Chains A and B, each alone.
Chain A
Amino acid sequence: MYRQGVKAKPDWPEGWWFLGLLYYESHSFNEGRQAFTEFTKLEEKAPAGWAYLGLCEFEAGEYESALTHLDRAIASGARPDPDVEQVLRFHHALLLTRGGFFDQARQELQPFVQRGIRDPVLIAGLGLNALEMRLVPQEAAAQRSLVEGAGQTVYSWIAGDSSQAEAGFRSLLAAFPSTPGIHYLYATYLLAVRPEAMNGELQRELEVNPANTRARAALALRLARAGDAAAALPLARKAVEERPDLAAAQYAYGVALTEAGTSHDAIEHLEAAVRLDPANLAHHTALATAYSEAGWYERARLERAESIRMARESRGPG
């Protein structure tokens, strides 16, 4: 009936909307995508239209445009039905991982674990995110045991089940000792529980995966924080050369240069870290300290004030 309706009256938005929903519910995603494309042409301010268009595209394997349209649904600010929003957020997180926006994706995935949802696609999504594999679960069938193992382990970690998380890491390391990403993932876990063991895991990651710039930056930061600027500097410099767009690399280099007593040189990199990831409080506090050490009085005061404002307005310890 809706098909006939929109044929007779192509500017009928409700017709395209309900037609699209029927296609989506019956898993006819290509047809659903066409219906929601027409709907969004007529009702471009309706976030639910962009949400369903993105979801249909996701299921049809059109991941780039799916991310664009789910981004648009979220950016519109209006909130669709809570159930739709959960589905929207979940698929958005999967697409963010595929797009390489791992940190942002992690933040969107965590609430699902905290709500106690235990779903195989969520587990796979967590695994892909943790291993920083730019795939959605449907594309990762060949690495299923690795991705599932990582996902289960990260699930336990986020859920606060440390004994399960430890056991998961032991299994992963035994089964995949040379797989890129596993040692780095374990190192990030160790930061909170056994920081003294973290450097060894980061070094093992770099042995099996020398291209892991995040691991290199993390190791440089650890060494700089421990006062070993001489060891930190070459690692951090290399990380910045490899990935100047990686805030963690710029931050590690800035901290290492500050530790080496060359705060004037550090400022350029800490400013870059703030530009690349302005929501990260640590970048601001490090920049404030570097300004202060260099004698840039007014900038130090401004950056300190900004850091305190951010800390007051954000969640965290204390």
Chain B
Amino acid sequence: MVRANLAAGYLALAAIGFSAEPVAGKFTCGTCHRAEAQTQPKTAMGIGMELAPHQTVLQAHPKLTLERKGYTYTIERNGDQSTYTISDATGKFTLPIRYAFGVRTQTFVLEYQGRFYESMVSYYANTGGLGATVGDGKIEPHNLVEAMGRETPDTEINACFGCHSSDALTNGKLTLDSIQPGLSCEHCHAGAKAHMEGLEAGKPAPLPKKLDRLNAEQMSQFCGQCHRTWDDIVKLRQFGEVNIRFQPYRLANSRCFVGDDPRIRCTACHNPHADPVRESAPYDHNCLACHSQGAPPVAGEGVPPAKTCPVAQEKCSSCHMPKMKLPAGPMMFSDHQIRIVHPGDPYPN
């Protein structure tokens, strides 16, 4: 009886050579989804952040310093601890770095007198040193505490931990004792834990929602929970080059963004279980899925036909998605507002 109920789940297990008998405690997502389970934890999303003492970026850079606006910033590694020191002519103070957000470039969340602060300086991989944290460059600190970091409201700090870690929030409140760096399967595939627990208990296991059924707009909303949605950026009024890093917003403003066409959704180009490909050519087939002779037309009200490029049929994104530097930091991003770029054109939106 139990086996009949679990038929669908165990067929998958049997196919890869596992026992179809439920064995308590032995199921993981990787039992069935082996390829994803092997690659995803090593990705930027899978790592998400580094907790003390396992801070590989700071281990590789045991002393970092920066002079900025009359203050000296020093990040040092001593044993298995990293510290953040801020000093000026009036004195100095040091805080431990418990939370280093990011994988290559890192910003630090600091705790001071029961409140959280976003560090005023970040480590940037492409310069190998410290620089002003993106978004904080215009702040003029008046004392050591203000120079140390920007006090972050609860809603913002919850969003930081919510997107860089798993199990850090329970019912909307921070529960840092249970924090797991990076995004677990459950983070995107809500219901995955219950699904596994059902398998372990030998009970019918409801499947998590199928994300591959989302259309382009729905997926932009989904991924935009962390990468910011089009709606978020408009409401925050983050216009100009500062929004280059918010891909769902840029993509939605593209002429070729058709909300119900899966060929333009995030996962059409990006495998969320692997790090993004940096070269241009591997994405060509995604562009040609619409912009080539014989490509299926896009259905929908008022959608113009996709033209073929008169210039080239390869490395499309190198022209149509130019890489741009974020104005307030050294990081580069591919502009996801796909378009015909003319020299001298102003930055759109």
**Cross-chain contact B221 with A289 (CB below 8 angstroms):** yes
Complex-state Cα separation, A316 to B235, whole angstroms: 8
Complex-state Cα separation, A289 to B234, whole angstroms: 12
**Cross-chain contact B349 with A292 (CB below 8 angstroms):** no
B137 within 8 A of A: no
Q: Which residues of chain A from 92 to 117 have any CB-CB distance to chain B below 8 Å in the complex? A: none
**Cross-chain contact B217 with A281 (CB below 8 angstroms):** no
Quick one: given A194-B154, A196-B172, A261-B218, are A294 and B259 in contact (CB under 8 Å)? yes
A129 within 8 A of B: no
B300 within 8 A of A: yes
Interface string of A260-293 (1 = CB under 8 A from B): 0101000000000000000001100110110111
**Cross-chain contact A304 with B302 (CB below 8 angstroms):** no
**Cross-chain contact A281 with B235 (CB below 8 angstroms):** yes
B171, B216, B302, most chain A CB atoms within 10 A: B302
Identify which of A57-65, A173-181, A243-251, A307-315 touches chain B.
Answer: A307-315
Enumerate chain B residues within 8 angstroms of A300, measured Cβ to Cβ: 259
Enumerate chain B residues within 8 angstroms of A196, measured Cβ to Cβ: 171-173
- Quick one: closest B residue to A259, CB to CB? B221
Identify which of B36-44, B87-95, B236-244, B307-315 touches chain A.
Answer: B236-244
Enumerate chain A residues within 8 angstroms of B303, measured Cβ to Cβ: 297-298
Q: Which residues of chain B from 259 to 273 have any CB-CB distance to chain A below 8 Å in the complex? A: 259-261
**Total of A-B residue pairs, C-beta within 8 Å:** 84
- Quick one: closest A residue to B237, CB to CB? A318
Tell me which of A261, A285, A295, A312 contacts B259 (CB under 8 A). Answer: A295
Complex-state Cα separation, A49 to B260, whole angstroms: 57
**Cross-chain contact B235 with A296 (CB below 8 angstroms):** no
B10 within 8 A of A: no
- Tally of chain B residues near chain A (CB < 8 A): 32
Instruction: Bin chain A's interface residue count.
Output: 20 to 34
Complex-state Cα separation, A294 to B303, whole angstroms: 13
Enumerate chain A residues within 8 angstroms of B300, measured Cβ to Cβ: 295-297
Tell me which of A195, A295, A299, A308 contacts B258 (CB under 8 A). Answer: A295
Complex-state Cα separation, A282 to B252, whole angstroms: 17
Q: Which residues of chain A from 31 to 66 have any CB-CB distance to chain B below 8 Å in the complex? A: none
Nearest-CB distance from A225 to chain B (Å)? 11
- Quick one: closest B residue to A261, CB to CB? B218
Enumerate chain A residues within 8 angstroms of B301, measured Cβ to Cβ: 295-299
Enumerate chain B residues within 8 angstroms of A292, measured Cβ to Cβ: 216-217, 252, 257, 259-260
B231 within 8 A of A: yes
Complex-state Cα separation, A205 to B228, whole angstroms: 32
Enumerate chain A residues within 8 angstroms of B180, measured Cβ to Cβ: none
- Quick one: closest A residue to B222, CB to CB? A227
Complex-state Cα separation, A286 to B155, whole angstroms: 22
B105 within 8 A of A: no
Complex-state Cα separation, A89 to B258, whole angstroms: 46
Q: What's the dominant secondary structure at chain B's contact region?
A: loop
Nearest-CB distance from A257 to chain B (Å)? 13
**Cross-chain contact B172 with A293 (CB below 8 angstroms):** no
Tell me which of B218, B302, B349 contacts A293 (CB under 8 A). Answer: B218
Enumerate chain B residues within 8 angstroms of A285, measured Cβ to Cβ: 230-231, 234-235
**Cross-chain contact A304 with B253 (CB below 8 angstroms):** yes
Nearest-CB distance from A252 to chain B (Å)? 15
**Cross-chain contact A311 with B155 (CB below 8 angstroms):** no
Complex-state Cα separation, A294 to B261, whole angstroms: 10
Interface string of A177-221 (1 = CB under 8 A from B): 000000000000000011110000000000000000000000000
Enumerate chain A residues within 8 angstroms of B238, measured Cβ to Cβ: 318
Enumerate chain B residues within 8 angstroms of A291, measured Cβ to Cβ: 259
**Cross-chain contact B302 with A296 (CB below 8 angstroms):** yes
B299 within 8 A of A: yes
**Cross-chain contact A298 with B302 (CB below 8 angstroms):** yes
B28 within 8 A of A: no
Tell me which of A263, A304, A311 contacts B235 (CB under 8 A). Answer: A311
B215 within 8 A of A: yes
Quick one: given A294-B260, A300-B259, are A195 and B172 in contact (CB under 8 Å)? yes
Nearest-CB distance from A186 to chain B (Å)? 17
**Cross-chain contact B237 with A312 (CB below 8 angstroms):** yes
Enumerate chain A residues within 8 angstroms of B218, measured Cβ to Cβ: 261, 293
Complex-state Cα separation, A195 to B159, whole angstroms: 13
Complex-state Cα separation, A196 to B154, whole angstroms: 10
Complex-state Cα separation, A144 to B295, whole angstroms: 71
Enumerate chain A residues within 8 angstroms of B171, measured Cβ to Cβ: 196
Nearest-CB distance from A288 to chain B (Å)? 8
Complex-state Cα separation, A297 to B252, whole angstroms: 11
**Cross-chain contact B234 with A311 (CB below 8 angstroms):** yes
- Quick one: closest B residue to A285, CB to CB? B231
A194, A289, A299, most chain B CB atoms within 10 A: A289
Q: A196-B172, A293-B260 are in contact. List 14 more A-B contacts (CB 8 A).
A: A195-B172, A261-B218, A263-B217, A281-B234, A289-B217, A294-B260, A295-B301, A297-B258, A297-B302, A298-B301, A298-B303, A308-B234, A308-B349, A311-B235
Give me 12 A-to-B residue pairs in the complex whose CB atoms sit less than 8 angstroms apart, sorted by A's number.
Answer: A289-B231, A292-B257, A293-B215, A293-B218, A295-B299, A297-B301, A298-B301, A298-B303, A304-B252, A312-B239, A316-B236, A318-B239
Chain A residues at the B interface, C-beta cutoff of 8 Å: 193-196, 261, 263, 281-282, 285-286, 288-289, 291-300, 304, 307-308, 311-312, 316-318
